A and B are shown apart, each in its own frame.
Chain A
Amino acid sequence: MTPPVILGAGDGDALMPLHMRLSPCGTILHTGPTLAKLRKGSTLVGRKLFDVFRLRRPHLTGASPQLARLIRQRLQVQFREPPETSLNGLMVTDATGESLLVNFSFGTGLVDAIRDYDLHLPDFAATDPSIEMLYLIEANATVLDEWRRLNLRLQSAKMEAEKQAYTDTLTGLRNRRALDHVLGRLVDAGEPFGVIHLDLDFFKQVNDTLGHAAGDHVLQVAAKVMVQTTRAQDTLIRAGGDEFVILLPGTVDHGHLLRLAERLIERLEVPIPFGDDLCRISGSAGITVCHGGGKPADAVLQEADEALYASKARGRGCATMYRAVKGAKVAPFERKPAKGDDGPTTAASG
């Protein structure tokens, strides 16, 4: 057997700055320099171990735990007075049997302890990996911050891309893809909602006689009219060319929807100035409602479409509720010819 280690004065403090020596009855005889630093202004030497610390582990019964039962056990103690730092420790008896030696470390409370006691590099033994741990905690936090920022950037880029994918660039309204998405969501949720399918009348004439720039302008003005006539929670969709769909969550009142469509048509018929010209358009609308549940999305659109064709058949410039068409003999293509290309027909309410 190798002979017992006998340390010179100060060697124990250099090797184990967080250690203490105890008498066999638990009186503190000596503390390492860092341990002493943890209780500024009060000396630990001369006090009883368990007057200074509360034993957290192992869990022993009795007011004053027997020291002998703690030897070579994993200890966790906590200062009774603030800051109530926890320390991990290990206790052994020295070769003479005249004293006990306990060495401590900070464990997970390291960062708090360093802040609470203003500890510096020399307060730790060169072999203590605490500083490496501290370094890693800080490096990881920095890297994690960077990831978090990257994720935020990617998230907002994704949202922007999605918004663009669902937006009609000319009018700023939603596009066909958004229609499928929002309508699908309403149907799946079983929510009641109304649908107005709106087709601009005489738009092709504007395009043909005044050019595409005029056509685009008319579409933008029409979109603005729709935005002003509807609520924020309604979804306005340019489904293609001069075709629009308005989804109105919670609105199923026939009279209300018809009045809204008529008001829209009325406002669309206000001549739109473009350069020196005046563009005259109108609109035909088909309306249907869904009381929630049962009706698939394409059936809802089909109903609105049929009602729209009924409006066209009745001479354009008017709105038709789907129920009104049901069973009625309205041949889809039996439309009244428009009164020339220069203006809308008068609006007739259905």
Chain B
Amino acid sequence: MHGLINRAIQCFVRDTCGPDAWERLARVAELPPSGFEAMFVYDDQITERMLDAAVLLLAKPRDVLLEDVGTYLVSNPNVEPLRRLLRFGGETFLEFLQTVDDLPRRAQLALPDLELPAIEVIGVEEDTFRIGCRWAHAGFGHVLVGMLRTLADDYGALVLLDHHGCEDRVETVTVQVLREGFAVGRPFQLASEGRAS
């Protein structure tokens, strides 16, 4: 698994539960004591071990944990660059939604060795989309639900999200956009105001 993904989970635990929780998790799951390097690639089993231990340590079901990771990824100021990169997808949430299947390709433009699930977006109705997520590692669909839910808030859209489980390694998520401009979203400027570190 790419270090960026492991690091994302590490930062989630550290920023939402505190550095002590992360240290405990690292000890229990035998993770690198100094944490993950975002630019390295790690054995897949390390990620599984970390998630299993996090489920026990944080006392959350795996689905909920992964959805929380998704929420964290687009809302925490420490990972603001990711939210910005996602917002390049479209001016409105509906527009963004239809470019979700570009995400893995976009990510690979910047990081060619970053493996992400194959994503397919199918329009069911004008305001409803079915998103298929195919990956060897189960659970990304829940991360996606967390990300989409939070991004909808970011755009100020009111949406209905559902995870329909996993079949043949494909997780299905449906999104219904009830109202665009339901609330005032967070502002987004195309050009960044200096780099967040």
Binding site for B on A (CB under 8 A): 111-112, 114-115, 118-122, 131, 134-136, 138-143, 145-147, 150
Contact = CB atoms under 8 A, between A and B. Distances in A.
B197 A145 contact: yes
Main SS at interface, chain A: helix
Contacts of A122: 91
Interface stretch (B58-66, B106-114, B119-127, B170-178): B106-114
Contacts of B197: 145
Contact of A121 (B38, B84, B90, B109): B90
5 contacts: A121-B91, A138-B84, A138-B192, A139-B106, A139-B110
A135 B88 contact: yes
A138 B85 contact: yes
B109 A139 contact: yes
A135 B38 contact: no
A124 to B, nearest CB: 9
A120 B39 CA distance: 31
Interface in B45-88: 81, 84-85, 88
A136 B109 contact: yes
Going nearest first, the 4 A-B pairs with the smallest beta carbon separation are: A139-B110, A115-B191, A121-B91, A114-B191
Contacts of A146: 38-39
B109 A119 contact: no
Given A122-B91, A134-B190, A150-B38, 6 more contacts: A114-B190, A115-B191, A121-B190, A138-B84, A139-B107, A146-B39
Most buried by B among A111, A121, A134: A121
Contacts of B190: 114, 119-121, 131, 134
A145 B195 contact: yes
A118 B91 CA distance: 14
Given A118-B189, A119-B190, A139 B90 contact: no
Contacts, number: 55
A121 B197 CA distance: 25
Contacts of B91: 120-122
Interface string B84-112: 11001011000100000000001101110
Contacts of A136: 109-110
B37 interface: yes
A135 B88 CA distance: 7
Among A122, A139, A141, A147: residue with most chain B CB under 10 A: A139
A176 to B, nearest CB: 30
Contact of B88 (A112, A115, A134, A142): A134
B54 to A, nearest CB: 23
Nearest to A121: B91
A113 to B, nearest CB: 9
A138 B84 CA distance: 9
B88 to A, nearest CB: 5
Interface in B179-197: 189-192, 195, 197
Contacts of B37: 150
In this complex, the member of A131, A138, A142 whose beta carbon has the largest number of chain B beta carbons within 10 angstroms is A142
A34 to B, nearest CB: 13
Nearest to A148: B197
A120 B95 CA distance: 14
A290 to B, nearest CB: 43
B88 A131 contact: yes
A141 B110 CA distance: 9
Nearest to B111: A143
Contact of A135 (B39, B95, B106, B195): B106
Interface string B108-143: 011100000000000000000000000000000000
